[in-house]
Amino acid sequence: MNVTVEERTTETLNVTWKAPEDGRKDEYTYNVTVTGRVDLICADQKTQECTVSALEPGLQYNVSVKSITPENTFSEVHQISATTNPSQVTGISIRDRTTESLTVMWNAPEDGRKDNYTYNIAVTGRVDLICDDPKTQECTVPGLEPGLQYNISVQSVTPETTFSESVAISATTNPSPVTSISVLIRTTTSLTVMWTPSEDSRKESYTYSVVVTSENGTWNDSTPQGAEQLDLQGLQPGLRYNVSVYSVTPENTISEPLSESNTTNPEHTPGITCYRRSGYTLTVRWLRPRGRYTGFNVSLNAKPPVNDNYTNSLTGEFKDLYPGRTYTVTVYTQLDKIRSQKATEECTTDPAPIIAGAVVGSLLGLVLIVLLLFFLTNRYRRKHVRPEFSNMKTLDSVVPTSKPHPVEGV
């Protein structure tokens, strides 16, 4: 009789057969029964086809067909074993992904024979079946390309190789990371970061997520499609920032980061004053800048030039200068080896006339002091003359004065 199953679902089996070659075959009817069912299905069927309904998903049934004459005599039973389709899986999702693989997982159906099921996984564009015959509800699909979107289909399979309807999910592999990162422009309050995109086939559609971390916290920014640099604004002077760049696909899958640490420039001092001056010396003060720094480099355009480094001090002194000259003081804020923009101020030493007057005044004062000391010394000596010297007679008092006598005959 050649009984076959032409179509099947999770709940039905469509059975067909060929009529016997009997002379009265056109008068025959057919009874169809199913193992485990007491009711006749398709009783008195005139055609050679019957749909067996109300079955359970994924179960195997024995379907029997008998020819019946008008006088109600029966032929031998012709039987076939057939299995309904299993139910679909549920809860399909992507558990993990890399640049080259997708791990898909699902929930088994609630069919009575679900523990006997295997599962077939297919990927759009691939002719081979992936993970055929897995017993678990998980499969890692290998051999994929970075940043591409794939449709992954999962089917339940009975031991008799009947298949459920496919359940599909679209999933995208992770993109490749950027290949290099550097700081193109650095100021006191900004960093311009640039990077080299990967060689992925969809790189033109990638955006980039930039995560910035410092001692003050973490924040992130993003770029338009195809961008290769980003200006980070509103930073603090002299602060170190860790910048991480992520490739992002249109489906929002993210690459591994590539990171670079860099520091904003220190801020220059907001003011310099000529604090004290003389003809040969200048004392300079400068204001403390915002942000972090490690010291100051201060120079003076003297001959020879003067260049000093200061760590904690905000004051510098320059000696051995020339009177009445204007000098340019230049102050750089230092952060390790990074130098700020320069700040300058002109300072003039006191002129020469003022210095000459001061010198003459000092000399006159010194002369007056010497004269005063001389006067005091003489006075002291007069008050302390020895007595024996004070009683001595002068020569006039000892030798008598003689008058001249005239000489006779002259």
pLDDT at position 373 is 79
Angstrom distance (rounded) from CA 239 to CA 242: 10
- Average pLDDT of the chain is 88
Nearest alpha-carbon partner for 171 in 91, 98, 223: 98
pLDDT at position 88 is 98
**φ, ψ for residue 363, nearest 5 deg:** -65, -45
Angstrom distance (rounded) from CA 109 to CA 86: 8
Domains of the chain (ranges, CATH numbers): 2-83 (2.60.40.10), 90-172 (2.60.40.10), 180-263 (2.60.40.10), 272-349 (2.60.40.10)
Half-sphere exposure of 359 (CA within 13 A, CB side): 7
- Convert the pLDDT of each residue in 114-123 to its tens digit: 999 999 998 9
User: 117 near 111, Cβ under 8 Å?
Assistant: yes
Nearest alpha-carbon partner for 345 in 326, 331, 329, 332: 329
Query: Is the peptide bond between 304 and the residue preceding it cis, with omega within 30 degrees of 0?
Result: yes
CB atoms within 10 A of CB 61: 20
Instruction: Read off the pLDDT band of 159 (50, 70, 90).
Output: very high
Instruction: Read off the pLDDT band of 407 (50, 70, 90).
Output: very low
CB atoms within 10 A of CB 325: 14
Query: Can you read off the two tokens belonging to residue 187?
Result: 């100021």
pLDDT at position 206 is 98
- Convert the pLDDT of each residue in 370-397 to its tens digit: 777 777 777 766 666 555 544 545 445 4
Judged by DSSP in three states, 97 sits in strand
Nearest alpha-carbon partner for 300 in 326, 271, 338: 326
pLDDT at position 372 is 78
Angstrom distance (rounded) from CA 186 to CA 397: 107
312 Cβ contact list (under 8 Å, min separation 6): 295
pLDDT at position 410 is 36
Burial class (CB in 10 A: 0-12, 13-18, 19+), 82: buried
pLDDT at position 398 is 45
- Convert the pLDDT of each residue in 70-117 to its tens digit: 999 999 999 999 999 999 999 999 999 999 999 999 999 999 999 999
Q: Is the pLDDT reported for residue 135 higher than 80?
A: no
pLDDT at position 365 is 76
Query: Strand 138-141's sheet: what is its strand order?
Result: 90-97, 102-107, 138-141
Nearest alpha-carbon partner for 297 in 287, 288, 309: 309
What integer is the mean pLDDT of 128-147? Answer: 82
Angstrom distance (rounded) from CA 154 to CA 139: 10
Per the model's pLDDT, the better-predicted residue between 232 and 135 turns out to be 232
Q: Is the pLDDT reported for residue 161 higher than 50?
A: yes
Angstrom distance (rounded) from CA 276 to CA 316: 10
Site of tokens 């193992």? 35
pLDDT at position 374 is 74
Instruction: Read off the pLDDT band of 289 (50, 70, 90).
Output: very high
- Convert the pLDDT of each residue in 173-217 to its tens digit: 999 999 999 999 999 999 999 999 999 999 999 999 999 999 999
323 Cβ contact list (under 8 Å, min separation 6): 279, 280, 349, 350, 351, 352, 354, 355
CA-based max dimension of the chain: 231
User: 284 near 329, Cβ under 8 Å?
Assistant: yes
Judged by DSSP in three states, 150 sits in strand
Q: Which helix (H) or strand (E) holds 390?
A: helix 387-390
Dihedral of CA atoms 105, 110, 115, 118 in degrees, nearest 10, equals -50
Q: Provide the β-strand partners of residue 299.
A: 307, 330
- Convert the pLDDT of each residue in 327-355 to its tens digit: 999 999 999 989 999 999 999 999 865 55
- Convert the pLDDT of each residue in 15-56 to its tens digit: 999 999 999 998 999 989 898 766 767 776 778 899 998 899
Q: Which helix (H) or strand (E) holds 7?
A: strand 4-8
Angstrom distance (rounded) from CA 180 to CA 321: 52
Residue 383 to residues 376, 389, 393, Cα–Cα distance (Å): 11, 13, 20
Burial class (CB in 10 A: 0-12, 13-18, 19+), 144: buried
Angstrom distance (rounded) from CA 10 to CA 86: 6
